[in-house]
Structure 1
């Protein structure tokens, strides 16, 4: 099991994200992921810098820590050819084997800004499937021309790309997405620790691939203060992804979560100073067969103190509880 650090663009400015990544590497986190949003979930989070220039700066400022988008949506706000170029460039800056392109079908929250409407989920999966094909063809190094159901590509080619391309992890949540992407992905992404999802993915992929999950926590010296912070900034998490993918903006998330109580949030997210509670929150991912879990510390201003806590207490406790076996690297298969 590898334990990661989440660079949450919704709660941190671009310079701070770069500093946080350097600190996370120094603290001994095994990898780092970055969200790719145009909006925060709630106004109180207060940030949403562009993930790609931040990633480039992070790749240049760090030396060893693997990096990953968690996740980029290549279906509307970005054309797949642009995503492929972004990913190839970041991978070259980071150096061999350090970057994985995480892809997903996205949320209305971030994609509505281009004014093209928000397709139903089955159409979004079709679009993602075509986008993954285009990105993979560009990573192969040839000229790409396509007149597809959702995208046109006119004589595109990546002139700077790592040999062999960039590994692609795809977010899945059920049978439709598993069947669509397990055979073409190099790794699986899911925020739900479901053993049956892991089993179906490996069966469809024909091999066992890395599985990357994500778990929010809200560490702090006072539990009540941590609960209040988690409720203020992360109560949207209670909606689940089928709801969260459809809401168009921060006002919608505020309205949809107005009746979520602090106790509800505390029941889903460990809050406060108890190391054992944060360690236990990871167990469902371990039991489900995940190989990587990225931890999300709720609260932008708490990141420096959280990294110190993680280095001194949390990471040693996680490794003591779940073992020190090295997680599989995410590679192009």
Structure 2
């Protein structure tokens, strides 16, 4: 049976709001939480970007749901040693209900340290080496490592959970899906397509969990929802590698100016049609995902949770 979680957006909401949304999600019947890990929002209109690890600490006290980062880049802005420490502490606070979602990152967040942004193949190399380091640290052993991308000297985590934190790997292209199958405890993606799942499973993923996220915009008025989605999240419609290589919210905004409201309406479920929301999620269920995380674009979070609690989740329960 597919489970349904809520996707907390650190790009759009401050820490107090995110914790309250987590409470509402649990009350509405969602069974898990994703939370994004960004230094910058995608554009200034989204307007937020709290430090995800502080928010996770608050979530551990506010809800009983499992939590996963979707996703952390443990390669440039955050060294793998620090990512491992943050994840291990989060897992201890959540009493083992934490998974570390990782990916190869975006220049939007990672270039803030002034380092060159590597090409995709190098970013995947860095991710694979980082995951290797993180796994060793999760075991509580003292780690010294001299690799192609990272050096670690006499590092040991003293606060670790009883079991190593599972690491799920985000992937969009075929090469990344194969890396996810080789090094991940699970697979993360955003598109309801079976082919990446099959590639992940063939590359070593086997029966490990596969998870996906989608964004919707609930509102009583369909056109209002389209306007909200277009105002806040036009970047979701940018093609190819653009979202990974553009370095600032201003650059993302320049590219997003080419995205029309019609494109958003075509690709994002907007409005209050119950069947449309159910159908958009069922595409992920039919593709074989184990958990689907839904994010509400815009400020009307309470309306969204009421709608999903009473209209959408009951239809998906069967």
Distance 1:162 1:72 in 2: 19
Q: Distance in 2 between matches of 1:309 and 1:17?
A: 19
Partner of 1:131: 130
Structure-1 separation of matches of 2:137 and 2:145 = 11
Q: In structure 1, what is the equivalent of residue 249 of structure 2?
A: 250
- How many angstroms apart in 2 are the aligned matches of 1:242 and 1:2? 30
Structure 2: state its 5+ residue gaps: none
Pairing 1:45–2:46 present? yes
Q: Which residue of 1 aligns with 2:202?
A: 203
Residue equivalent to 2:87: 87
Cα separation, partners in 2 of 1:159 and 1:274, compared to 1, 3 Å: same
Summarize the alignment of residues 47-66 of structure 1 with structure 2, pairs less than 5 Å apart: 47-63=48-64, 65-66=65-66
Q: Which residue of 1 aligns with 2:69?
A: 69
Return the alpha-carbon distance in structure 1 between the equivalents of residues 242 and 19 of structure 2.
Answer: 31
- Of 299, 305, 309, the residue aligned with 1:311 is 309
- Determine the structure 1 residue equivalent to 2:177: 178
| Aligned equivalents of 2:49, 2:136: Cα separation in 1 | 30
Q: Please, which moves more after superposition, 45-54 or 177-186?
A: 177-186
SS at match of 1:162: coil
Shift of 1:206: 5.5
| Alpha-carbon offset, residue 209 of structure 1 | 1.1
Residues in 1 aligned to 2:205 and 2:268: alpha-carbon distance in whole angstroms: 34
Deviation at 1:95, TM superposition (A): 1.0
Tell me how far apart the structure 1 counterparts of residues 79 and 146 of structure 2 sit (CA, whole Å). Answer: 14
The alpha-carbon deviation at position 282 of structure 1 amounts to: 1.6
- Counterparts of 2:6 and 2:240 in 1: how far apart (Å)? 21
Change in Cα spacing, 1:206 to 1:281, as seen in structure 2 (3 Å) is closer
Stretches of 4+ aligned residues off by more than 2 angstroms: 178-181
Q: Is the 8 A contact 1:275 1:317 kept in 2?
A: no
How far 1:37 moved relative to its partner? 0.5
**SS of residue in 1 equivalent to 2:110:** helix
**Residue deviations 1:206-265, cap 9 Å, x none?**
521111101110001111111100000111101145221111111111111212111110
Task: Give the structure-2-normalised TM-score.
Answer: 0.97
The structure showing larger relative contact order (alpha-carbon pairs under 8 Å, at least 6 residues apart) is 1
Cα deviation digits, residues 65-96 of structure 1 (max 9, x gap): 11100000001000001011101101111113
TM-score of the two chains, using structure 1 as the length reference: 0.93
CA shift for structure 1 position 279: 1.1
Match of 1:32 in 2: 33
Task: Please state how far the C-alpha of 1:283 moved relative to its aligned partner.
Answer: 2.7
> 1:148 offset after TM fit, Å?
0.9
Number of residue-to-residue matches in the alignment: 317
TM-fit CA distance, 1:313: 1.5
CA RMSD of aligned residues (A): 1.2
Give matches, 1:244-323, under 5 Å. Answer: 244-299=243-298, 301-319=299-317, 323=318
Corresponding residue of 1:147: 146
Alignment correspondent of 1:164: 163
Alignment of 1:3-18 (within 5 A): 3-18=4-19
Looking at structure 1, the residues matched to 247 and 279 of structure 2 have their Cα atoms a distance apart, in angstroms, of 33
The Cα shift of 1:180 comes to 2.2
Task: Flag structure 1 segments of 5+ consecutive residues without an equivalent.
Answer: 324-333
Cα deviation, residue 290, structure 1: 1.0
Q: Deviations over 1:173-211 (max 9, x none)?
A: 233223323122111001122211111111211521111
Distance in 2 between residues matched to 1:127 and 1:206, nearest whole Å: 20
Distance (whole Å) between structure 1 residues aligned to residue 255 and residue 190 of structure 2: 20
